[in-house]
Amino acid sequence: MNPAPATDVAEVLLLAYGLTPRERDVLARVVAGLPSRAIATELHITVATVQDHLKSVFAKTGVRSRSALVATILGL
């Protein structure tokens, strides 16, 4: 049996955590290494809104930092 690709596992985790589509948009950019300002620009939202989404994602996933979030989502 072959292990599932990381992208498949990450998608299942996102659904399991109950992330909204916008939270998933923000998270994808965090995983890509973008800072909040760049995320805000790409998504046409304010930096404060990015931070609000991140707080929600942190709460839903039980982490307290971007690095812990990425590690959790990517299974590191």
10-50 pLDDT per residue, tens: 667 677 788 999 999 999 999 999 999 999 999 999 999 99
DSSP H or E segment with residue 33: none
In a domain, 64, yes or no: yes
How many angstroms separate the CA atoms of 5 and 72, rounded? 15
In a domain, 1, yes or no: no
What is the domain count for the chain? 1
In a domain, 56, yes or no: yes
Domain that holds residue 36: 6-74
How many angstroms separate the CA atoms of 30 and 63, rounded? 14
Task: Name residues whose C-beta falls within 8 Å of residue 30's C-beta, 6 or more positions apart in sequence.
Answer: 39, 54, 66, 69, 70
DSSP H or E segment with residue 66: helix 66-74
Answer with the residue of higher pLDDT: 22 or 1: 22
In a domain, 46, yes or no: yes
What was the pLDDT predicted at 35? 97
Which CATH number do you get for residue 69? 1.10.10.10
How many angstroms separate the CA atoms of 25 and 40, rounded? 11
What was the pLDDT predicted at 10? 63
What was the pLDDT predicted at 6? 53
In a domain, 13, yes or no: yes
